[in-house]
Amino acid sequence: MDSVIPVNEPLLDGNEKQYLINCIETGWISSEGPYVNQFEALFATKVNRKFGIAVCNGTVALETAVLALGIGKDDEVIMPAFTIISCAAAIVRAGAKPVLVDADPVTWNMDVNQVAANITPRTKAIMVVHIYGLPVDMAPLLAIAAQHGLKIIEDAAEMHGQTYNQKPCGSFGDISIFSFYPNKHITTGEGGMIVTDNPELAAKCRSLRNLCFIPEKRFYHEELGYNFRMTNLQAALGLAQLERLDHFIQIKRAMGQKYHRLLHQVPGLQLPLPTTPFANNIYWVFGIVLTEEIPFNALVAMQKLGALKVQTRPFFYPMHLQPVFHKMSLFQGEHYPVAEKLAERGFYLPSGMALTEEQIHQVAERLQAILV
Ligand SMILES: *Cc1c(COP(=O)(O)O)cnc(C)c1O
Q: Give the pLDDT of residue 290.
A: 98
Give pLDDT tens digits for 266-319. 999 999 999 999 999 999 999 999 999 999 999 999 999 999 999 999 999 999
Q: Give the pLDDT of residue 98.
A: 98
Cα separation, 270 vs 268, in Å, equals 7
Cα of 176 vs centre of ligand 1, distance in Å, is 12
Residue 29 and residue 148 share a domain: yes
Cα of 86 vs centre of ligand 1, distance in Å, is 7
- Nearest ligand 1 atom, CA 62: 10
Residue 95 and residue 37 share a domain: yes
Best residue for ligand 1 mutational test, from 82, 84, 132, 162 (most atoms within 8 Å of Cβ): 84
Residue 212 and residue 347 share a domain: no
Ligand 1 atom 7 nearest Cα: 58
Does the beta carbon of 192 lie inside 6 Å of ligand 1?
yes
CATH classification of the domain holding 231:
3.40.640.10
Q: Which domain holds residue 328?
A: 245-371
Does the beta carbon of 187 lie inside 6 Å of ligand 1?
no
Residue from 46, 124, 151, 184 carrying the catalytic annotation: 184
Residue 217 and residue 349 share a domain: no
259: nearest Cα among 240, 282, 286: 286
Q: How far is C-alpha 121 from the geometric centre of its chain's CA atoms?
A: 29
Q: How far is C-alpha 143 from the geometric centre of its chain's CA atoms?
A: 23
Cα separation, 278 vs 163, in Å, equals 8
Best residue for ligand 1 mutational test, from 179, 185, 186, 348 (most atoms within 8 Å of Cβ): 179
Q: Give the pLDDT of residue 1.
A: 56
Look at the chain and report how many structural domains it folds into. 2
Q: What is the mean pLDDT of each run of 10 residues along the chain (372 residues)?
A: 89 97 98 97 98 98 98 97 98 98 98 98 98 98 98 98 98 98 97 98 98 92 96 98 98 98 97 98 98 97 98 98 98 97 98 96 98 90
- Chosen domain end from 221, 242, 263: 242
Q: Give the pLDDT of residue 246.
A: 97
DSSP string, 35-64: HHHHHHHHHHHHTT-SEEEEES-HHHHHHH
